[in-house]
A and B are shown apart, each in its own frame.
Chain A
Amino acid sequence: MTQKETVIRVTDLVKNYGSFQAVKGISFSVMQGEIFGLLGPNGAGKTTTLEIIETLRSKTAGEVEVLGLNIDRHADELKKRIGVQLQAAGYYPGLKLDELLLLFGGLFNVEVDIQALLARVGLTEKRKAYYKQLSGGQKQRFSLATTLINTPEVIFMDEPTTGLDPQARRNIWNLIKEIREEGCSIILTTHYMEEAEQLCDRVAIIDHGKIIACNRPSVLIDDLLQSGFKKEAFIKPANLEDVFLQLTGEQWRDN
């Protein structure tokens, strides 16, 4: 394997809201082509961290570099090269999906192949639908389509599968893996551990604004086992989600 370059480098990042310290000096790096997960309970500082790196929020202290660009000095240049899926984004009211994609094409100054883009996220038939008419999974897929418009080198996703049913979630996972196959690096937040385990090459676990662990999921699990941890109950080699997906099928449901 060749030496991968670092696409995101976060050093001693601090964010204060008044007297409250939301992020207390965290450091981590994301490598090119990696799917990197920020895990943690609600309010741990995941979204704040992500939004600082995306240039949406100002930081109190620390250094952040994305694609070799300092986010303080090169935010404008950076915005052209990254793709961001917000946790809860809204889209311009009263516009159909194709019109929205055209709008984002304009915002990024790129030509959009609407048909191809919608096909990629399985929304070909929804071309003339309004965003608010979409189901939860479709909304997330559409959101992902807007993120891909400028063929970004790094994609940020804030809780891409929260609130989705198991089929929709697996569908999003597949899309994320496909995007990574094309050489894109992805950093995402989630509080679903099985999602992190399935999807992420490395994860950082954040709690109370600090990274308390950062490694490959399998290494973290091995470490835990080595420390003498034992699960109380015997785990069957399948779980209820496997039963559910066996019975209902893995293909996504749209309605």
Chain B
Amino acid sequence: MNPKKQYSQIKAMMAMTRASFTSLLRSPSAVVFTIAFPLVFIVVFGFLSNNSLKLDVALIPGSDTSEVFLSKLSTIPGLQLHQQETSQSIEEKLKRGEYEAALFIHPKSEAPLIFELQLSEASMQKAQAFKLMMQSMVNEMNLELNGISEKKVLLNSRQVSGKAFKTIDFILPGQLGFSLLGTGVFGTAFVFFNLRQTLVVKRFFVTPVKRPYIILSEAFSRASFAMAGSLLLLLIGYFAFGFTLANGVFTVIQLLVLSLLGLLTFMGFGFIVSGLAKSESSIPPLANIITLPQFLLAGTFFPISAFPEWLQPLCKILPLTYLNDAYRKIAFDGNNLTDVSTEIGILLLWGLLVHAIAVKVFKWE
């Protein structure tokens, strides 16, 4: 009866991809997890992005405030000198570590000239740094006052990397990974669980489309959505916060390729969760078991080296660690995809592993 026309699975898949993409755009949780949350972190850390040393030091009342001392002090980099503060309030702030130190300059009556320092135990590192700076200032003043201009010992130093590694350069790659983890694990788990539970896939089964194309369509739409999210985060990072893109557009393209790889890996976790979950409410705990450790330990917010040594081996098996590392190497160091083949290889291994498990536990009905 019907004219024999070749049925195209691709055509069916495209229709499902479009449907899924439309649905994603209308889904608040997808937009929140992929774009809004990471963006909040980027904005917060982007504005915090002053990673030079900042020293808060109070000048104790009664100090000699002659211009000659104040101008000397102002040569100390990052020093914020707080004057007009009562002794009591200085004391409290020292205890809380709000001030690194308090400085008293004895009013000049006779030699020697005395600078008196109180260092905050609550902010010991910065306090020690300040003490060293004061020490060197005092040394110089001594030489000057003794009329010694010829120096017998010199210290030369130079800065290595020419580029400044800004907070955003650390945070943004982590947020790209976080965004993919969210859409990949949570998004995929919920969508397949719900499509199964609400019999949407059952309805698909009585159309000529084949099952792998249903999965492919979901992967395509999620990938497009996540890539658009990654691109948006990169652009905002670049234009608003000066995120370093070592080789410009070429870097962006390579970062997006990494994003795609990361997403496909994380989607495998999502399939596993959707298969294991007995009810909708068991999805978040299951998904959190996968996402939370990575969120915290994979170098998303803090470098892995900041963790205690016993924890670091755990950090170094998480897939997100390698995605984040690869992002940073490409974005900041200007590496190419081929230079991060170790990271990519480990991600691929993870991908193979989780998809192999997913095939076993995935449920259609």
> Interface on A for B, CB 8 Å cutoff?
54-56, 76, 79-82, 84, 86, 88-95, 99-100, 102-109, 146, 153
A93 to B198, CA, bound (A): 9
A81-B2, A93-B23, A95-B23 in contact; A105/B202 too (CB < 8 A)? no
A sample of 10 inter-chain contacts (CB < 8 A) reads A76-B208, A79-B206, A79-B207, A81-B1, A90-B200, A92-B19, A94-B22, A95-B19, A109-B7, A146-B203
A153 neighbours in B (Cβ, 8 Å): 1
What residues of chain B lie closer than 8 Å to A92, measured between beta carbons?
Answer: 19-20, 23, 195, 200
- B360 contact set on A, CB distance < 8 A: none
B12/A109 in contact, CB under 8 A? yes
Complex interface: chain A residues within 8 A of B200 (CB): 89-93
B interface, how many residues as a size bin?
20 to 34
Complex CA distance for A236 and B205, rounded to whole angstroms: 47
Does B11 lie within 8 Å of A89, measured CB to CB? no
Q: Do B199 and A89 touch (CB < 8 A)?
A: yes
Supplied contacts A93-B194, A106-B18, 4 more A-B pairs, CB within 8 Å: A80-B7, A90-B203, A99-B19, A107-B207
Query: Is A104 touching B207 in the complex (CB atoms < 8 A)?
Result: yes
Q: Kindly list chain A residues whose C-beta atoms are within 8 Å of the C-beta of B15.
A: 102-103, 105-107
Given A107-B15, A109-B11, also A86-B22 (CB < 8 A): no
B16 contacts partner chain A, Cβ-Cβ < 8 Å: yes
Q: What sequence of 0s and 1s flags, for each residue 206-225 of chain B, a beta carbon within 8 Å of any chain A beta carbon?
A: 11110000000000000000
Residues of chain B having any CB pair with chain A under 8 Å: 1-2, 5, 7-8, 11-12, 14-16, 18-20, 22-24, 26-27, 194-195, 197-200, 202-209
Q: Which of B11, B23, B199, B203 contacts A106 (CB 8 A)?
A: B11
* Residues from chain B with Cβ under 8 Å of A91 in the complex: 200, 203
| Contact residue among B1, B22, B198 (Cβ-Cβ distance under 8 Å from A99) | B22
Q: Which residues of A lie under 8 Å from residue B2 when comparing CB positions? A: 80-81
**Known contacts A103-B19, A153-B1, A86 near B12 by CB under 8 Å:** no
CB neighbours (8 Å) of B22 from chain A are 94-95, 99
A81 to B5, CA, bound (A): 12
A106 close to B208 (CB less than 8 A): no
| CB <8 Å contact, A56 and B208 | no
Query: For residue B19, which residues in chain A have a CB less than 8 angstroms away from its CB?
Result: 92, 95, 99-100, 102-103, 106
Chain B residues near A76: list those with CB within 8 A. 7, 208
Task: Determine the residue in chain A with the shortest Cβ distance to B12.
Answer: A107
Residue from A86, A107, A108, A109 with most neighbouring chain B CB atoms (10 Å)? A107
Q: Is the CB of B27 within 8 A of A106?
A: no
Chain B residues, Cβ within 8 Å of A104: 207
CA distance A186 to B181 in the complex (A): 47
Contact assessment for A107 and B199 in the assembled complex, using a CB-CB cutoff below 8 Å: no
- 6 cross-chain pairs, A with B, having the tightest CB-CB distances, nearest first: A106-B15, A90-B198, A94-B23, A84-B206, A107-B207, A103-B19
Q: List the A side residues contacting B24 at CB < 8 Å.
A: 94
Q: Do A86 and B202 touch across chains, with their CB atoms under 8 A apart?
A: yes
* Cβ of A19 to closest chain B Cβ, rounded Å: 21
The residue on B at minimum CB distance from A183 is B1
Q: Which of B7, B12, B27, B207 contacts A94 (CB 8 A)?
A: B27
| CB of B59, distance to nearest CB on chain A (Å) | 61
Give bound CA distance, A101 to B73, whole Å: 74
Q: How far is the CB of B116 from chain A (nearest CB, A)?
A: 68
